[in-house]
Amino acid sequence: MPSPLLLLAQIAIILLCARVLGRAMRLIGQPKVVGEMVAGLMLGPSLLGWLAPGVSTSLFPTASLGFLNALSQIGLLFFMFLVGLELDAKLIRGRGHAVLVSSHASIVAPFLLGVILALYLYPRLSDDSVTFTGFALFMGAAMSVTAFPVLARILQERGLTKTRLGAVAIACAAVDDVSAWCILAGVVLIVRSADATIPVPLMVGGSVLFVLVMLTVVRRALGRLEVTYERWGGKLSQDRIAAVVFLVLASGWITERLGVHAVFGAFLAGAVMPKGEAFVREFRDRFEDVMVVLFLPIFFAFTGLRTSVALIGGDMWLYMALILLVAVVGKMAGCAFAARASGMDWRESWALGTLMNTRGLMAFVILNVGFDIGVISPALFAMMVLMALATTFMTTPVLEWVYPERVRLRAEAPSKPELVAASGGHR
Amino acid sequence: MRPVLWYLALVGLPVAAMLVILRVGERLVPPRAVHGEYAVVFDSAGSGHCLSVLVPDGEKRLSVAQSGPKLDVTFGSLELFGTLDGDSLYVVAPTKDNALRRAASCLTRDTIAVSGALPRKGASDTHLIGSFLFPGCGMCPAVPFRAMPLPDRARGP
């Protein structure tokens, strides 16, 4: 059993690297989260393990990774809870067909291209323990995700939250998020049903029943939580916070037992929470700092420890280039053409496509799910991690190019006030 | 009407195309799955003098990470890379020092390889049968082994 001292040292080093790289990225105009993602990769076999294998082995011995994994999984559950908490139907309502067409097209186009790419990659990067359908659907889902929290942060930092572009982008990302998680839940069910420990009808039926219970019974019960919160002058007791923590853990446990994945339960727990602005802010404030400062860097580090860029060699760089090309073209162009067709001008349409191309840590979440259930191989995992990093990294400079400040200053008048709250969300 | 047409063109058609592709893709034949953990049993009394120079005698666990036909095999401190070709695998690695050269008077740089054959698909015997080879050292005989797949065949590290 690894010593607690080692775990403390690991966490301290992870936090230090994340903070330093996060700050460094801010200096070049990138969101901090990009630096934290890079820090995670640097601590893994791709850099530390390559430059100083001895240091890497003594700092992150294989036997100790179980602890980091457990911490990162807990962090991930609460992060997904926060993502669900921030999602509000008000973001989508009243945005019209531009949002509906753009968001669905920005999912379908990269999804289709991902499935087409799967035809080429399946014999080269997969094996017969995974069905083509599972592999292709997973590739599609990983290609089509948008990082709602990172996108919100970029919009906020660039002063775009009150523009029409910002409003449509947030709404599209919200639709994308919900759709992507539903699709991924389906993919996980399909993949896991092959060697499920519980009968498939029970997996599917149980999942549907669980979602219905959450959307009706639990949502109504949580509504009372908001009422008492308001009655007590906007204060949350520790008992009530403990109840919500219990809900997140129990919901994650149930979805994991049903064969979907714990992250879906946590996301659903957040999604059914009441959406009063003060109530959401209270929860966000209580959870966010410890999530952002402690748990997410551990999750990134754990992802980095699983990522070995050395596995990408020879022909595989061609596959990597194809993955990146398909991801960018599918998401950016798919969304831009749909937005143009819905009446936005070309510049705004490309800006929207650029924003939707931000995959960030949501892609990391999906990739880790895929790796856990064995649907993607180690080399493909490394390629997809690099793709997620590259698409997140490119968002700010490309946005500056297609939607420069002079255009931004001419941008429309402020839109609905709720967007300010939405874009002030975590990360 | 126009938004509905756009929706059908931008969403409906791609979804239909996707369903066709999923059907076509099911005909593809990927490499056989060999990834996972294996318990190694040596056919002879021990792992042999040359192998024991590189890996402690007690080492019994062979780990295979797979990305398509590309394999990354770990046995003790050895990490070997190679490919799977049909039912045969061949992975190779230079060892980190010249231990063999010192211990067995090998003339060339130390190299170790594993050659193996997967059991026939659907066969009741699921053992991987192979040998550790020492291509750079004629004084080191091949070390035959059988590897039994352990439950929960993880994909990689």
pLDDT digits (tens, 9 = 90+) for A100-158: 777 788 888 899 999 999 999 999 999 988 999 999 999 998 998 888 777 877 887 77
Q: Which residues of A touch B34 (CB under 8 A)?
A: 127
Q: List residues of chain B with CB under 8 Å from any CB of chain A.
A: 3, 6-7, 10-11, 14-15, 17-18, 21-22, 24-26, 28-35, 65-70, 72, 153-157
pLDDT, one tens digit per residue, over B5-40 is 877 887 788 889 999 999 999 999 999 999 999 998
Q: Within chain B, what is the greatest distance between any pair of CA atoms?
A: 83
Mean pLDDT of chain B: 81
Sign of the alpha-carbon dihedral angle for B40, B46, B47, B53: positive
Contact (CB<8Å) A128/B156: no
Buried b (16+ CB within 10 A) or exposed e, A395-427: bbebbeebbeeeebeebeeebeebbebbbebbb
**Mutate which of A130, A132, A371 to test chain B, going by most B C-beta atoms within 10 A?**
A132
A154, A405 Cβ separation under 8 angstroms? no
Q: What is the pLDDT of residues A27-43, one digit of tens each?
A: 998 888 889 999 999 99
Contact B26 A308 (CB under 8 A): no
**Range with top average pLDDT, A61-65, A279-283, B21-25:** B21-25
Residue A387 has pLDDT above 90, yes or no: yes
* Average per-residue pLDDT for chain A: 85
The number of distinct structural domains making up chain A is 1
Instruction: Tell me which of A63-77, A269-283, A410-424, B79-93 is least confident.
Output: A410-424
Question: Are B66 and A111 within 8 A, CB to CB?
Answer: no
State yes or no: pLDDT of B152 exceeds 70.
Answer: no
Query: B112: left (phi > 0), else alpha (psi -120 to 50), else beta?
Result: beta
The per-residue DSSP string of B50-109 comes to: HHHHHS-TT--EEEEEEETTEEEEEETTEEEEEEEETTEEEEEEE-SS-HHHHHH--SS-
**What is the model's pLDDT at position A427?**
45
**Domain CATH for A290:** 1.20.1530.20
Pick the residue from chain A with its C-alpha nearest to B9: A105
- Residue A196: per-residue pLDDT: 65
The nearest alpha carbon in chain B to A115 belongs to B18
A12 pLDDT tier (thresholds 50, 70, 90): very high
Distance, in angstroms, between A216 CA and closest chain B CA?
A: 30
Q: A-chain residues within 8 Å CB-CB of B89?
A: none
Q: Is the pTM of this model over 0.90?
A: no
Higher pLDDT, A13 or A287: A13
A204-223 residues labelled b (16+ CB within 10 A) or e (exposed): bebbeebbeebeeebeeebe
**CA-based torsion, A169, A172, A178, A180: positive or negative:** negative
Is the pLDDT at A97 greater than 50? The verdict is: yes
Asked if A297 contacts A287 with a C-beta cutoff of 8 angstroms, the reply is: no
Tell me the residue range of the domain where A201 lies: 4-423
Q: Quick one: average pLDDT of B97-116?
A: 71
pLDDT, mean of residues A202-227 = 90
Residue A235: the pLDDT is 79
